[in-house]
Amino acid sequence: MAADRSPRDPSAQPMTVPRFRAAKAKGHKLSVLTAYDHLWAGIVDAAGVDAILVGDTVSMVVQGHSTTLPVTLDEIIYHTEMVVRGTRHALVIADMPFLSFQVSPSQAIENAGRILKESGAAAVKLEGGVSQAETIRALTVADIPVMGHIGMKPQSIHSLGGMGKIQRDEDGLVQDAKAAEAAGAFAIVLELIPQAIAARITRELTIPTIGIGAGPGCDGQVLVLYDMLGLTGEFHPRFLKKFADLRSEALEAMTRYVAEVQAGTFPGPEHSH
């Protein structure tokens, strides 16, 4: 039976970048979920997660694209602003979308600065290790907190040959993780990395590792909200645990609504003025 967990205490201290980074040394396992709007952000925040990621996955789960590549900087800012308005305690981190940071460090500073200034997010996340170390360093020098992301990088789908490719180059992955840490990243996402390699990276870094499909040895975990709530239907990757089946519940409720409207039983007298 699942452990009972009370909602977050409204008086709890908000999560900050320094507190998030310090969680590793304290042995606190970090929980991260995505959110893309005000309503869900408020629910996620009340549940007690440590951080909310406004992921470029919005391109797929909200906009209906087949990859994360189409989402724009303006769209990320738009969704992040809504999430920030619905959040009181969790750290809000916004993904930097494809081609918003790859051109140059100066481009990355300008775009990341826009995200923080216009949305109210506390940090940005970008994909890359060794290849993006100079950019991560430039952002942190500009006082823009950065979460790294290595392993399966969805923005590199074409060069990797498709989504869901397990990354097994142990030496390269360790080098990427250490490069991101040395450049100033306060945490790093490890996506689709064999658990033994992810555990090694976690041991060798001083910053928190946040896993997705990287096993239990990481310092925390992240899932896409719609996936873990069972809203995304037939999406069943190995790393995903569905903690609810809201798609079925919503479909059943909507089906009853249609039936009652057609039968004339809704609205009844109690629903009418």
Q: Are 131 and 158 in contact (CB under 8 A)?
A: no
**Distance in angstroms (rounded) separating the CA atoms of residues 189 and 265:** 51
Q: Which of 181, 119, 190 is nearest to 151 (CA)?
A: 190
267 prior amide bond cis, ω within 30: yes
**Distance in angstroms (rounded) separating the CA atoms of residues 252 and 254:** 6
Catalytic residue among 134, 191, 204, 252: 191
Q: Residue 237: helix, strand or coil by DSSP?
A: coil
Token pair of 172, please?
């390269």
Q: Is residue 234 flagged as an active site residue?
A: no
Q: Within 13 Å, how many C-alpha atoms sit on residue 15's CB side?
A: 28
Residue 254, H or E segment: helix 246-263
CB-based contacts of 55, cutoff 8 Å, min separation 6: 34, 36, 68, 95, 125, 224
Which residues are catalytic, by number? Answer: 191
